[in-house]
Structure 1
Amino acid sequence: MMQKQEFNKQLFDFLAASPTPFHAVYEMRGRLQEAGFIELQEQDAWHVKPGGRYFIVRNESSIIAWNLAANSDLTDSGIRMVGAHTDSPCLKVKPNPETESQGCLRVGVEVYGGALLNPWFDRDLSLAGRVNYLSTDGSLRSELVNFERPIAVIPNLAIHLNRDVNQGLNVNPQTDLPPIMAQLQGDAKITLRDVLKNELLTQYVDDVAEILDYELCFYDVQKPAYIGLNNEFFASARLDNLLSCFIGMQALIESDSEQSCLLVCNDHEEVGSMSAAGAQGPMLKQLLERLQPDAESRSRMIANSMMVSVDNAHAVHPNFADKHDGNHGPRMNAGAVIKINANQRYATNSETASLFRHIARQEGVTLQSFVVRSDMGCGSTIGPITAAEIGVKTVDIGVPQLAMHSIRELAGSDDPVSLAKVLKRYYQQEQV
């Protein structure tokens, strides 16, 4: 496993290059191919071999990569699985988004997931996503687009005009959040489709006849950065949950071929996971059926397997420590967190938690525990969904962070590489 500084540098590069799930999967695809993984198409017949490294992509926003053991049978050895998700709360552009107000072009947006909305004001916003278009030869094509430069902003209302704003701002997503993209000149009209067509023709391709549709979201152009007198922390957008995607991918790349292991990164977790590419969809189940077609052998394989669901955890906030159970307040840079919930919002049980603790101890890595206050509701992850859909024993873990679901989140700079070391050893466990 690479050292902390190099690991975090590559992590920062990955985060900056991944403003959408589409871009995250594109980046992961490139890194996996560089490491010798072969991309398979779901519509093709497969000829996978022991010792082979493969991956598939669905909807350009979900990805599964796996190593097949060179000298052991899937039925008896099972698969060491890690799961994460590629999506983050954001502002998605509506199909007909253009509105004019006071000579300015505003872009209508829809809130995706449980976003903290206040931090979106007064940020330098850019736009990225997938654009589907009709080419000049009459074929349907798609292209990933990323403007990269700031092209929009959601300005706050001055305190002089809203004297009570510091008593609490109630954000109306319909009226308060449309970003301002341009100032209109005279009778000039600007449509987003024209802007997209020009951007594609200028930066990407030369055969665009018509923009047919798109899936776009705004994002903050500020790059990931270290924070703190001693670089103890780092801040970035989309730490939940691209941080886990990167950690799981790096551990998989560096694992050997002695055991079969797998990384699945699903889209749509932030909105319930119910989609063809989500954890509640059939993507992972269908892959396992193709790897082990015989039903009885597949059931035995799953019984010998385990899933580590990796999704960031709530670190205890120094200014709001009372929001945590007094005995379960994880701190940044104190190790990954095992997440536990009596009502199965997390899939951890004593068996899976004990195994993961044992693996971490072998790497000399400390772990923490998180249980939500008994008088508060608990979030969830892909862990319980995958456990229920596949029937695989599961543990829910994650790096502790602050400002979860904000446009800019905070985590400890020591935690990513330490968790990657544990996952690498887990991938290579003979029995789970």
Structure 2
Amino acid sequence: MEHAEFNKDLLKFLNASPTPWHAVATMKQRLDAAGFEELDEKDDWSLVHNRGYYVIRNGSSIVAFRTGAQDAAASGIRMVGAHTDSPCLKVKPNPELRRKGFFQLGVEVYGGVLMNPWFDRDLSLAGRVTLLDGQGRMLDTLVDFRKPVAFIPSLAIHLDREANTSRTVNAQTDLPPVLMQVPEEDTTGFDELLSQQIASDSGTKVRKILGYELAFYDAQEAGFVGLRDEFIASARLDNLLSCYIGLQALLNTSGEEAALLVCNDHEEVGSVSSEGAQGPFLSAILDRWCGAGKVKAIARSMMISADNAHGVHPNYLDKHDENHGPVLNKGPVIKVNHNQRYATNSRSAGVYRHISDELGLPHQTFVVRSDMACGSTIGPLTAANLGVTTLDIGVPQFGMHSIRELIGTEDGFTLFRVLTEFMQRKQVF
């Protein structure tokens, strides 16, 4: 895959994946097209060498792997991890608000949302719905309104003269989006509107909505930015970018070596769930793949946790350690924290630097300022759960956790090239 093709395909992936469920569905389509076989956790498995498989849990997390030419206990597994979720505004279970003829939906803040950028944006709505269909069968379906259907208007500065110096956002009262105007006698419910969209999307006749997990998202598509198109702007770059990079690396490996991609949901809220990185999903897959050889396989394995890094912002240079300010388009960022907020150690960092140097590709290093708190990733969680040597790395970006984020056009492709080589390396250590 060439550089330009990589970035154009990345935009398609981002635009097709407004929620974790859509992201996993998009990855499933690509894995199916590449000949990977889907496995069901309820069934018996009979894995063979030199094959590709994948497992989906809850529709929002996925593990895909190549078994390689020999037993994983002898070869180890080259693992890459990412997460499918992004901070957003999720619709509450009983969301309907009618005020002064405006139909609004109550929302719950999911993850560490940078809330101010959500105002005055064209918003759409997507997610998973559980329902009874026309025959009374219970099923899950994906829904995506696609077009802009909502807006969170700012309060005019004339009504808040201190807006530019002291305005704060109240998540309960300030964030309910406006979807339409309705007459006083209108009794149209959200479930009815949702049922109409599902019928339009899939032709499914809805007898009853039983539940949903829906999120508003930026209706503006991903695109190139800059006088020389040197940037990509999009929603959900944290961390669908890493999901895409890891998937493309797995699909482009030779298949001779055992390799695995895990994309977990719920990283943005702590990863404590059945499909999150603190849950048993990955370990359960490895148990069934490796059997009694799991401990030996882990001892020969390495995990690269890929999650975006904070690029040095030219307007806020003092927010970075002066020797560790990653620059966009200057290479992926090895993330280090000796208090174990990142799982990188000298050995795992050395493996990445060695491969990157062999390929003649750039890399950078990030350490948070000593007087600031450090974020974290699925890296330490996976390292602790499995006992696997782990590296934390990511593409540098601006605007992390905003509704629209920015990366350089070079760094994703660079990380893809290194991860592809890592996943087909005969010996990691």
Kindly tell me the number of residue pairs found equivalent between the two proteins: 428
Deviations 1:1-25 (A, max 9, x none): x111110111000000100000000
Match of 1:51 in 2: 50
Give the secondary structure class of the aligned counterpart of 1:39. strand
Distance, in Å, in 2 between the alignment partners of 1:57 and 1:203 is 23
Distance, in Å, in 1 between the alignment partners of 2:420 and 2:24 is 21
Is the aligned partner of 1:287 residue 2:285? Answer: yes
Structure 2: which amino acid aligns with 1:9? K
- Runs of 4+ with deviation above 3 angstroms: none
Match of 2:374 in 1: 378
Is the aligned partner of 1:92 residue 2:98? Answer: no
Deviations 1:169-215 (A, max 9, x none): 20000000000111112310221101001111223123311111100
Structure 1: which amino acid aligns with 2:85? D
Distance, in Å, in 2 between the alignment partners of 1:335 and 1:190 is 52
Give the secondary structure class of the aligned counterpart of 1:48. coil
Match of 2:408 in 1: 412
Distance, in Å, in 1 between the alignment partners of 2:205 and 2:187 is 24
Give the secondary structure class of the aligned counterpart of 2:229. coil
Match of 1:181 in 2: 179
Match of 1:60 in 2: 59
Deviations 1:125-176 (A, max 9, x none): 1100001111121210111000001111000000000001000320000000
Give the secondary structure class of the aligned counterpart of 1:278. coil
Match of 2:11 in 1: 12
Distance, in Å, in 2 between the alignment partners of 1:355 and 1:110 is 41
Distance, in Å, in 2 between the alignment partners of 1:31 and 1:247 is 13
Aligned with residue 336 of structure 1, among 332, 337, 347: 332
Trace 1:167-178 onto structure 2 (pairs within 5 A): 167-178=165-176
Aligned with residue 322 of structure 1, among 290, 304, 318: 318
Aligned with residue 108 of structure 1, among 100, 106, 130: 106
Distance, in Å, in 1 between the alignment partners of 2:76 and 2:204 is 48
Q: C-alpha displacement at 1:73, in angstroms?
A: 2.1
Distance, in Å, in 2 between the alignment partners of 1:14 and 1:73 is 33
Q: CA RMSD in A?
A: 0.8
Structure 1: which amino acid aligns with 2:343? A
Structure 1: which amino acid aligns with 2:348? T
Match of 2:24 in 1: 25
Structure 2 residue runs of 5 or longer lacking an equivalent are none
Q: 1:416 to 1:331 in 2, by over 3 A?
A: same
Distance, in Å, in 1 between the alignment partners of 2:7 and 2:149 is 28
Structure 2: which amino acid aligns with 1:317? H
Q: C-alpha displacement at 1:362, in angstroms?
A: 1.4
Aligned with residue 351 of structure 1, among 347, 352, 356: 347
Trace 1:233-252 onto structure 2 (pairs within 5 A): 233-252=231-250
Distance, in Å, in 2 between the alignment partners of 1:203 and 1:409 is 28
Distance, in Å, in 1 between the alignment partners of 2:317 and 2:294 is 46
Aligned with residue 393 of structure 1, among 373, 389, 399: 389
Normalising by structure 1, we get a TM-score of 0.98
Give the secondary structure class of the aligned counterpart of 1:292. helix
Match of 1:34 in 2: 33
Distance, in Å, in 1 between the alignment partners of 2:42 and 2:356 is 39
Structure 1 residue runs of 5 or longer lacking an equivalent are none
Distance, in Å, in 2 between the alignment partners of 1:175 and 1:301 is 52
Match of 2:215 in 1: 217
Match of 1:80 in 2: 78
Q: C-alpha displacement at 1:74, in angstroms?
A: 1.1
Trace 1:137-286 onto structure 2 (pairs within 5 A): 137-286=135-284
Q: C-alpha displacement at 1:375, in angstroms?
A: 0.2
Match of 2:426 in 1: 430
Distance, in Å, in 2 between the alignment partners of 1:138 and 1:20 is 27
Distance, in Å, in 1 between the alignment partners of 2:201 and 2:244 is 27
Give the secondary structure class of the aligned counterpart of 1:128. strand
Deviations 1:48-68 (A, max 9, x none): 100010000000000000001
Distance, in Å, in 1 between the alignment partners of 2:318 and 2:166 is 20
Normalising by structure 2, we get a TM-score of 0.99
Aligned with residue 361 of structure 2, among 347, 360, 365: 365
Give the secondary structure class of the aligned counterpart of 2:141. strand
Structure 1: which amino acid aligns with 2:273? S
Structure 1: which amino acid aligns with 2:66? N
The sequence identity of aligned pairs, in percent, is 57
